[in-house]
Amino acid sequence: MRDLLRETADRAARYLDGFGTRRIAPDLEAVGALERFREPLPEAPSDPAETLRLLDEIGSPATTLMGSGRYFGFVIGSKLPAALASNWLATAWDNSGSYWRVSPAPVMIENVALGWLLDVLGLPADCGGSFVTGATMANLTGIAAGRHVVLRRAGWDVEADGLFGAPPITVVVGEEVHPTLVKSLGLLGLGRNRVVRVPVDDQGRMRADAFPRLAAPAIVCLQAGNVNTGAFDPAAEIIPQAREAGAWVHVDGAFGLWAAAAPARAHLMRGYEAADSWATDAHKWLNVPYDSGLTFTRDTEALRAAMSITAAYLPAGDQREPAHYTPELSRRARGIDVWAALRSLGRSGVADLVERCCRYATRFADELRAAGYEILNEVVINQVLVSFGDPETTNRVIQAIQQEGTCWAGGTVWQGRTAMRISVSSWETTEEDVERSLEAILRIAGEVRAGQSVER
Ligand SMILES: *Cc1c(COP(=O)(O)O)cnc(C)c1O
């Protein structure tokens, strides 16, 4: 076992060393070689080192360097050294992070991490929390607690009796809601199509003047950080209206919630502390390994009512038992990665990580604008939308950038306009990465546009 783990560490280190020189997306040859995985199920056991070798020799070259400082696709984030190392040790423990009496260390560490998260994100210190797979499940978990509360107030026990015959719940989202939140609503039986969609402005922010009159039972889903523009719904104007109507207010802050950790950006989160539940990802901006989503709820008992198996499954002790607050029972001890990231960064390190990403995003926007390209969003945090001309030209530039390999950014359509989206979310991104990437983007965009005019 010791030799195997040493070899694993060596191979992993070699993989990470390649970040300086390798292209971001794998080449066609490496992708083609993946066919080697298509072998019949072996009839007999083999040396584990041989399996590791196959994984590294064929698998590693066909990965995208998503943790690289020059990967700007989606909203991804890398993995901090302390988080990766602690994740490995925790995997060696192979402990379920469910109950104190199953194993105490993961529970203690998760409980500490929860307190630190509430502190660094500026949320009420007595909130409950769940460590889940990602923001899709975190939204589901927070809204499930809301569903419990708004129906209990209407005299209905949804966990016991389900939704058939229950008083209908009005669910409000913004027109630019993340599609995974709509999926969560479907999973919860609240329906993907029966939501009320509030009109938004040109940044995708819910228009407070268009917020509907509501009657209970109702759930309002706000967004802190639109995946395209990074924009924040006007929580300070909407939450009081929603609360007046007796609605539960849930916040999808998959990456935007982290703005609260950086003093210069914290104003964007003003008013959000008055919500009832919040969802975010640690695998995005906190830079821990997948999978790591988080839910926080002001009403801890509601979260427990929605998520616990039954009160009698195992006797309660003095510790907060993670399994009472999550959709899963057995699961990896996810709190460990979050704890390690927060402990190694400290308050100032988290603030610096967030602020640095925002600063680099602003630099991308400034230099692309100075070169004559249109920036489609107000760059408030780490997201930049750039157009290189008409949709066809923009798409050709994006494709050429991805093929060239210095950096990687994806395409999107923002309110009818085709754009390249740059998300700066990795702790590994340096000033030099930004310069190298800008040089490549400007050179390639120039070449694509010049080539087109020659063709014409
Ligand atoms: C990424 C994202 C999600 C989904 O998160 P997963 O971790 O991929 O499940 C939801 N909402 C927003 C705003 C996001 O950016």
DSSP string, 175-233: TT--HHHHHHHHHTTS-SSSPEEEPB-TTS-B-GGGPPP--SSEEEEEEBS-TTT--B-
* Mean pLDDT value of segment 412-428: 98
* Mean pLDDT value of segment 270-275: 98
Pocket test for ligand 1, best of 181, 227, 291 (most atoms within 8 A of CB): 227
Distance 87 CA to ligand 1 centre (A): 22
224 lines ligand 1 (CB under 6 A): no
Distance CA 115, CA 180 (A): 27
**Which class for 380: exposed (0-12), middle (13-18), buried (19 or more C-beta within 10 A)?**
buried
pLDDT of residue 456 exceeding 80, the answer is: no
pLDDT of residue 103 exceeding 90, the answer is: yes
pLDDT of residue 282 exceeding 90, the answer is: yes
**Which class for 89: exposed (0-12), middle (13-18), buried (19 or more C-beta within 10 A)?**
exposed
217 lines ligand 1 (CB under 6 A): no
* Nearest CA residue ID for atom 3, ligand 1: 135
pLDDT of residue 313 exceeding 70, the answer is: no
231 lines ligand 1 (CB under 6 A): no
Distance 136 CA to ligand 1 centre (A): 6
Using a pLDDT cut of 90, give the percent of the chain over it: 96
428 lines ligand 1 (CB under 6 A): no
pLDDT of residue 160 exceeding 80, the answer is: yes
* Nearest CA residue ID for atom 5, ligand 1: 135
| pLDDT confidence tier of residue 318, bands split at 50, 70 and 90 | confident
Strand partners of residue 132: 293
293 lines ligand 1 (CB under 6 A): yes
Distance 228 CA to ligand 1 centre (A): 12
Distance 254 CA to ligand 1 centre (A): 5
Distance 444 CA to ligand 1 centre (A): 30
| pLDDT confidence tier of residue 46, bands split at 50, 70 and 90 | very high
pLDDT of 311 reads: 58
| CATH dotted code for 84-341 | 3.40.640.10
| pLDDT confidence tier of residue 452, bands split at 50, 70 and 90 | confident
Radius of gyration of the chain (CA): 23
pLDDT of 37 reads: 98
| pLDDT confidence tier of residue 89, bands split at 50, 70 and 90 | very high
Distance CA 367, CA 386 (A): 11
255 lines ligand 1 (CB under 6 A): yes
- Each residue of 4-28: pLDDT tens digit? 999 999 999 999 999 989 999 999 9
Could you give the residue ranges of the DSSP H alpha helices within 73-157?
Answer: 81-93, 104-120, 135-153
Pocket test for ligand 1, best of 252, 257, 381 (most atoms within 8 A of CB): 252
Distance 188 CA to ligand 1 centre (A): 17
- Each residue of 199-247: pLDDT tens digit? 999 999 999 999 999 999 999 999 999 999 999 999 999 999 999 999 9
HSE, CB side, 13 Å, CA atoms: give it for residue 304: 13
Which residue would you say has higher pLDDT here, 332 or 314?
332
Q: Specify whether the CB–CB gap between 288 and 80 falls below 8 A.
A: yes
What letter would DSSP give residue 251?
E
287 lines ligand 1 (CB under 6 A): no
pLDDT of residue 454 exceeding 80, the answer is: no
Distance CA 442, CA 372 (A): 10
Least-confidence region, from 109-123, 303-317, 396-410: 303-317
* Mean pLDDT value of segment 72-95: 97
pLDDT of 455 reads: 56
* Mean pLDDT value of segment 167-172: 98
Point out the ligand 1 atom lying closest to the alpha carbon of residue 256.
13
| pLDDT confidence tier of residue 400, bands split at 50, 70 and 90 | very high
- The overall average pLDDT reported for the chain is 96
252 lines ligand 1 (CB under 6 A): yes
Q: Specify whether the CB–CB gap between 80 and 427 falls below 8 A.
A: yes
| pLDDT confidence tier of residue 310, bands split at 50, 70 and 90 | confident
pLDDT of residue 300 exceeding 90, the answer is: yes
Q: Specify whether the CB–CB gap between 266 and 259 falls below 8 A.
A: yes
pLDDT of 327 reads: 96
pLDDT of residue 259 exceeding 90, the answer is: yes
Question: pTM of the prediction?
Answer: 0.96
Distance 354 CA to ligand 1 centre (A): 17
